Each structure stands twice: as C-alpha cells, then as structure tokens.
Amino acid sequence: VADDVSYRFRMSYDNRTRLVVTIFDESFMTLKKNRNDSLTEKTIPHGTILDTSNVEGYCVDLAYTICHERLKLP
C-alpha cells in the first residue's frame, strides 16, 4: 500500500452490499432473453432484487464501470 489514506478509503467500501434502483426501459435496463422466457417484466414481483446475470443495458454497464473500473471494487 502506497499511502494510508488511499488504503482507508478503499477499506471503507469493503464488505458492503450495493443496490442500484432503476426501472425497466428499453436500452437502459432490460431482461436478458432466456431460453424458456419464464422471466418477464410482468412476472417479477415488485421489489425483487435481480442478479446482474439476468439484466443488461446502459445502467448495468454504467454501474459495472463505476464499481470495478473507477472505485476498483471487487
């Protein structure tokens, strides 16, 4: 570790859950197509937390870039 300040800053982000809240809107956030199409926007109960492997779009890409490339979170 080069300096104690950057180490403490990074450690303040460890062991926390981050939630991104958004709505489904074409190109910003959509469900990935699955083989049996059992998962649709209408069948997901309100307030459900989705795994990132089930969604795609600009908001997903932006959240990934901020977390992994900018903040260097695992």
* pLDDT (tens digit per residue) in 26-67: 889 999 887 777 778 888 888 888 888 889 999 999 988 988
Of 5 and 70, the structure prediction assigns the larger pLDDT to 70
0.85 exceeded by pTM = no
Domain boundaries, the chain: 4-70
Q: Can you tell me the distance from the alpha carbon of 44 to that of 3, in angstroms, rounded to the nearest whole number?
A: 46
